[in-house]
Amino acid sequence: MSRIHEALRKAAQENIERPRPSETRDERYSQMFEKAPPSATALVETVEPEEVELDEFNQIIRNAREVAFDPANGSLLVNPAKPREAPSEEFRSLRTRLNHLQTLQSLHTLVVTSASPAEGKSFTAANLAITQAQLSEKRVLLADFDLRRPNVHTALQIDSSPGVTDYLAGQAAMEDVVRKVAGMNLWLMTAGESVPNPLELLNLKECKNLIDQLRTHFDWVILDTPPLLSAADANLLATMCDGTILVVRIGTTTYDAVTRALQSLCENNVLGVVVNGSPHGDLGKYSYQYGYDSGEQGKRTQTEAGTLYWV
């Protein structure tokens, strides 16, 4: 009899310790840690999902594939090795104004656009990004969101794909589309493969999530976007970003075009206007003139992109 009583006692004890069917795995783990000594619970660390995501993205940025800074001839990009050459001074002035604005408001993502094509928006976006990246404490990303006529990869002589379209379409991972310019605090995101439906891609929730993620990891995210009056892309992107700069070209952009472009944007989102290509003296003593080689003989001539002026 004593052995029978002993077996019944053990069975009852096992039934008490066995998890109840209604218990969830988390409830059982919770009970285990409640019974565990303090030394055991101290070994358990809680890591928030957002912290893991931040760390993973920082790792992607640190390990980004490097490309050489090799601008194409005639691209008119600022040369960090020659800070006194034009148009460096004007972009440093623009940089100073924007960095001051950043101290007054949350300003990290910036749309650079124009009213119509060929007004210098890509020229402005690229040079502003390069100039910002010259500040050692800044982490800058230049992203080509002009998915219709991309230009960043051409100006910097790198492959366009993989890029933005490939990432949004789920064809490439983040580590594939972010590249770092060697020796600079400048990262690049090219446009990617040509797509027949750019606006549909930009309307995906992944696009908003991407811009929000980039805002968290870079001091400045500068987006080169299509002209406002040619497509709705820039208007949509402006709603996702902190500010917009409108580039206009003297002698090309009409007053009506500027008015319609500004009306298409949220008034509170427009930070200012960059006036491009003014003849000498038209904008007063604060304008800055420069030229570039326009012929085989290397003759220095005034260009259409001759003056950059912040209004």
99, amino acid identity: N
Rounded Cα–Cα distance for residues 64 and 212 (Å): 19
CA dist 161 → 114, 131, 149, 175, 190 (Å): 25, 25, 14, 13, 7
Strand partners, 249: 276
Q: Burial code of 123-148, b = ≥16 C-beta within 10 A, e = fewer? A: bbbbbbbbbbbbeeebbbbbbbbbbb
- pLDDT at position 306 over 90: no
CA dist 153 → 145, 193, 219, 226, 270 (Å): 12, 12, 22, 15, 27
- pLDDT at position 17 over 80: no
Give the pLDDT band of residue 29 (cuts 50, 70, 90). Answer: very low
Give the pLDDT band of residue 163 (cuts 50, 70, 90). Answer: very high
Please answer whether residues 276 and 297 qualify as being in contact, where contact means their C-beta atoms are separated by less than 8 angstroms.
Answer: no
Residues, the chain, total?
A: 311
Q: In this predicted structure, what is the pLDDT of residue 310? A: 56
Model confidence pLDDT, tens digit, residues 103-148:
999 999 999 999 999 899 999 999 999 999 999 888 999 999 999 9
Give the pLDDT band of residue 288 (cuts 50, 70, 90). Answer: very low
Mean pLDDT of the chain: 79
Q: Is 140 helix (H, G, I), strand (E, B) or coil?
A: strand
- pLDDT at position 11 over 60: no
Model confidence pLDDT, tens digit, residues 32-84:
334 444 443 343 444 444 444 557 888 989 999 999 999 998 888 988 877 77
Model confidence pLDDT, tens digit, residues 207-258:
999 999 999 999 999 999 999 999 999 999 999 999 999 999 988 899 999 9
Q: Is 143 helix (H, G, I), strand (E, B) or coil?
A: strand
- pLDDT at position 157 over 60: yes
Pairing state of beta strands 300-302 and 291-293?
Answer: antiparallel
Domains along the chain? 65-310 (3.40.50.300)
Rounded Cα–Cα distance for residues 125 and 95 (Å): 11
pTM above 0.95, yes or no: no
Give the pLDDT band of residue 303 (cuts 50, 70, 90). Answer: very low
Q: In this predicted structure, what is the pLDDT of residue 309? A: 54
DSSP code, position 84: T
> Cis peptide leading into 49, omega within 30 of 0?
no
DSSP string, 220-254: EEEEE---TTT-SHHHHHHHHSSEEEEEEETTTS-
